[in-house]
Structure formats: C-alpha cells, structure tokens
Structure 1
Amino acid sequence: MQTPTPAYLTPEALTAFIRTALAEDVGDGDHSARAAIPADARNRAHLLVKGEGLLAGMALAPLIFEEVDPTLQLHLLLPDGARVKHGDVAFTVEGPARSILTAERLVLNCMQRMSGIATYTAHLNTLLAGTNARLLDTRKTTPNFRICEKWAVLIGGGVNHRYGLFDMIILKDNHVDYAGGVAPAIAATQKYLADTGRQLPIEIETRTLAEVQQALATGGIARIMLDNMPPDQLREAVALINGRFPTEASGGITEQTIAEVARTGVDYISVGALTHSVKSLDLSLKAY
C-alpha cells in the first residue's frame, strides 16, 4: 500500500525519535547482552508474525537497526501495509549478536503498536464503504510517540489531522466558551493570525445547529466540526452547511456507529480510538 510522505516524517525527526527512545531503553549500555554474549559473536534473527492484521513500521525498522549498528544487514521481505497472518516472516537481520539484541525491543515496540493502529484504521475504513467520508486521526496520541502513531494511520489508509497545536487552529468547545461564543472566537483568531502574519487554517467546533449557523454567518474558516451530534442532527447540519465548508463529525464515534455517521454526508470522521485504544499486533524477533 503506497502512502504519502507527510511533512513531519523528516530524517531529522525520525533520528531524534530513535535516539531518544534508545537513550530511554539502553542508557549507559545493554548490560544483559554485554554480559552474556561474546563481543565477536554473530547471529541472525527474523521478525515472526504471530497474529493477523496490517503490517506497519517496515520503513522504520531499518533506521533503528542502522542507528544501533550500521553493520547489521536487514533483508525486508514484506512492505508497509501488507496483510499478514500467523507464521509470516516480515524481515531477517544478521550481524553482531549484541546489536541485534539491543535493537530488538525498540523495533518490536514500534512495529507492534504501529501495526495495531494500521490494522484498526484499515478495519474502520471498510465500514465507510459506499460513502464519501474519510477517516481522521486526532492528537490523542502517546507522548513522544506521535510520529509513529500518525504514520501508522496513513499506512492503514486513514488521513492525518493536524500534527500538533502549531500547524492548524481548531477552536474547540473550551476555546469557544472562554472566548464568549463562536463568532468572538473566530474573530479573535482571525485578528491573531493577521497580527502575527501567520497563515493557518481555522476549524471551529460546533455543538448545536445554532452554533453551526453562527459559524456560517461569521465565515473565515476552513472546516466545521460537528461534535457529539446524533445522526439526525448531523444530517440537518450537513444540509444547513450545504457544501460551503467541509464538515467533520467527532465525539464518541465507535465501530458500531461509524457507518451510520458516514451516511449522514459528512466529509470527515475523526476517531481518537485509532491511536489511544488499539490492540498491538503480536510480533516476535526470533533467532533462527
């Protein structure tokens, strides 16, 4: 499955993530490997799939092995987005045994969670069949692991929402309430952007049809979020907006309700569970 390369997937960002993760895990050395394995020992291992799902992290694994030890030789057998089942082998690695062991846990931690996210994203996408709705992720990610989680959503066929607080403005319920309403929140934001010379898209969260009408009357936005609205109200809101702005349904949407939500005509559906409530795919690195 071919996925686009988003702006956040830079070599610098990936290197920084890997080095921070290795520092957390390895500290001043992998003393288990150093103690038990001779320095000159060489070995090989393969990544064994022990579940069913969508594979993710195959482009990340070589970067981790390279950072641990550039002499390790990795042979990729499957691509990101491949459908896998129990018994499949995703890659083989060979080289210094200590280095394989040091890299093992970070590779597995990343790939298991990324594969779980990609698998669930792909599953929810099947429930959108026959509609024009597209599946969005959220900022409900694991601190310091967002780069991998959002990457996994892409591999699963989802769409990344904003990466963080800096690349898009979303005026949510608390922003609206603190600002004194939908219109004041949008007006203040437009002034802020003008004063600071920034060009950022503005999305406004609405909770009622009255707030939708206020957003339409105010304008100057890129998208209207329809938060925690039941399907009948979503249909009314979509009809009211009538294509003037893209629409996003959000709030408590599950795999039991997502198909009905999609059939209301919304353009996007955001689901926090894509990244905060997934089951990792069972993978294991085994010597052979």
Structure 2
Amino acid sequence: MLTPKLVTDVVERALAEDCPWGDATVAASIPTDLDFQANLVAREPGLFAGGAVFGETFHQIDPDIHVTNLVPDGTAFSAGDVLASLSGPAAGILTGERVALNFIQRLSGIATLTSLFVAHIGSVDSQARIADTRKTTPGLRALEKHAVSAGGGINHRFSLSDAIMLKDNHLAALGATADSELTEAIQRVKATVGHTTSIIVEVDRLEQIEPVVAAGVTGILLDNFSVEDLRTGVQVINGRCTTEASGGVQLDTVADIATTGVDVISVGAITHGASSLDLGLDAS
C-alpha cells in the first residue's frame, strides 16, 4: 500500500505547501556551506511510524542530508529516546524539519493509539482484531492506514472501489426498508458483480441479521449494538459470515466488545481521533 511513488508524491505536495518558493528564514540566515547535526528525540513514550516519509522529506530537500539510525516502524520508545540522527547541510535540515516532524508526529500518534486498543483486547480471551475505517485525513489515507498496521491493527477496505458495503442509506435507496425486503435486495446486488467481490452489510437491529445472512453475504457489520446484543448476534450468525462490531468504540469498552466473539472491531477513532506525539529535532 505504501509504495515509493506514493511516498514521493505526498512529500512533494507537503513541501510545495510549506516552502513554495523557498525558505525565507534559512535563505537570510544560514550559509549554504554550513553543516549541521541533529537527533530526532521523543518527548513522550509511544510507538514509531512514518520513517519512510521522514527520510524522503529530507532527501527531496537535499540529497546530501543523511538520515541514520532511524528506528523501524512499529518500534516502541520512551521519553528521551533517540529515534534517528541527521547530518548534512544545515539549510536543508532546517527547511525540512517541520514537514518531517508533522508526518511522524501524526503517524506515530495513530500507531500508538492503535497499539493501546490492540493491547486492551489482548487482555481478554478473544480472537478479535482491531481495524481502521475510511475516517482518514484526505490525501493521507495510505500513510495513516500504514500507521495502523505499525500499531498492530489491520486495514479495512482502502477505498470505495475495494468491496461492496451496503449501509442503511444504500438499503433505503434500494427500497429495502423492511426486514423482509433485505434478502432479495442484497441478492440483486450480488447478481451484478463477480464471485470474488466481497459484500458486507451493515445492520442496526438483531431482526435484520437472519435475512442478511440468508442472502449469502461475506460479512455483517453490527453497528452500535450493545455488548449483550453483539453476543446474541454472533450466536445467531454462528460462523456463517465474518462479524464486525462498529460504532462508538472506546478504550474503556473495546475489551468487553471483544469478548462477544466478533471477528473484527472497527475503530474510526484510531485515525480521526489520534493525537500527534511530541517528537522533536535537537541539535547534537
């Protein structure tokens, strides 16, 4: 997913935004022949993500900047740990500093929050996995989903092109407002696509489960169900398709949700609600 071209393109856009016609401060104050050394230092504990875009930022600014000892994505760190070292032209390092930090602070925040959700469900007897959603920053989805993977989560569909997911408004638009109409409506959709296309259907009531399963779907998304209803829903489905819990999942509720037997717990908050970590670049 995180291809070299994608990394190159996203860094190009970020640098074009931040220094469209150069860095006025650096041009006025930093000699072109001045070298500089700095360390990337963690101000708080967390889990690292974004090494590829961090390195690419400085490479695009000036290929003579060397990034060394960069920790791998997924590395846990403590406050005060050195996560990378830089050396080379001071002008380039100072120009690229903010963009590079913006990337890794954001992505490390996502990886760290994801790892907390993963740890919470790891504390109970469950086979559930934490998944992201499409609630990502426009233009940064691939980076943010990569950060989820670095944090121990799994990726849901990357885009609308990847799978069919029929939600309440899709079903309403199809006229399937009654539970008795669900099976036929879903089967009409199935008839229009190939056999390899996944079909996931969102339900918000226990009564919808049986007619949806009867249509032969790949998975059911149990949206905003109580823990008790999730447990009942999983029993009704009984392994006939993948089960996914979604809707308002929080750190203090995710372990209980995991004990219901669902296969996947999708959490929009791990991307749209993650706080950037405090990482800084210190002269060495």
Q: TM-score, normalised by structure 2?
A: 0.93
Residue 191 of structure 2: aligned partner: 191
Q: What one-letter code is carried by the residue in structure 1 that aligns with 2:187?
A: A
Q: Which of 261, 266, 283 is equivalent to 2:262?
A: 266
CA drift of 1:127 comes to 1.0
Residue 241 of structure 2: aligned partner: 245
Q: Is 1:283 aligned to 2:276, yes or no? A: no
Indicate the larger mover: 225-234 or 26-35: 26-35
- Cα distance in 2 between the residues matched to 1:15 and 1:260: 41
Q: SS in structure 1 opposite 2:127?
A: coil
CA drift of 1:231 comes to 1.0
Residue 4 of structure 1: aligned partner: none
Q: Is 1:175 aligned to 2:151, yes or no? A: no
CA drift of 1:246 comes to 0.8
Q: What one-letter code is carried by the residue in structure 1 that aligns with 2:249?
A: I
CA contact (8 A) 1:171 1:185 kept: no
Q: SS in structure 2 opposite 1:141?
A: coil
* Structure 1 residues 194-209: aligned runs within 5 Å: 194=194, 199-209=196-206
CA contact (8 A) 1:150 1:160 kept: yes
Superposed CA offset, 1:60-90 (max 9, x none): 3222221221111111242222221111111
Indicate the larger mover: 46-55 or 62-71: 62-71
Q: What one-letter code is carried by the residue in structure 2 that aligns with 1:9?
A: L
- Cα distance in 2 between the residues matched to 1:137 and 1:185: 28
User: Structure 1 residues 265 and 120, CA, compared in 2 at 3 Å: closer, same or farther?
Assistant: same
CA drift of 1:184 comes to 4.8
- Cα distance in 1 between the residues matched to 2:3 and 2:141: 14
CA drift of 1:230 comes to 0.4
Indicate the larger mover: 30-39 or 222-231: 30-39
CA contact (8 A) 1:58 1:76 kept: no
Q: Which of 204, 208, 212 is equivalent to 1:211?
A: 208
Q: TM-score, normalised by structure 1?
A: 0.92
What percentage of residue pairs aligned between the two structures are identical? 44
Superposed CA offset, 1:124-181 (max 9, x none): 1111122100000001111112121111100000001011111122111211221122
Q: Is 1:73 aligned to 2:69, yes or no? A: no
- Cα distance in 2 between the residues matched to 1:83 and 1:120: 12
Q: What one-letter code is carried by the residue in structure 2 that aligns with 1:233?
A: D
- Cα distance in 2 between the residues matched to 1:125 and 1:164: 23
Q: SS in structure 1 opposite 2:52?
A: coil
- Cα distance in 2 between the residues matched to 1:260 and 1:267: 13
Residue 21 of structure 1: aligned partner: 14
CA drift of 1:188 comes to 3.9
- Cα distance in 2 between the residues matched to 1:101 and 1:188: 58
Q: SS in structure 2 opposite 1:255?
A: coil
CA contact (8 A) 1:48 1:90 kept: yes
Q: Is 1:112 aligned to 2:109, yes or no? A: no
Give the aligned length: 277
Q: Which of 21, 31, 34 is equivalent to 1:38?
A: 31
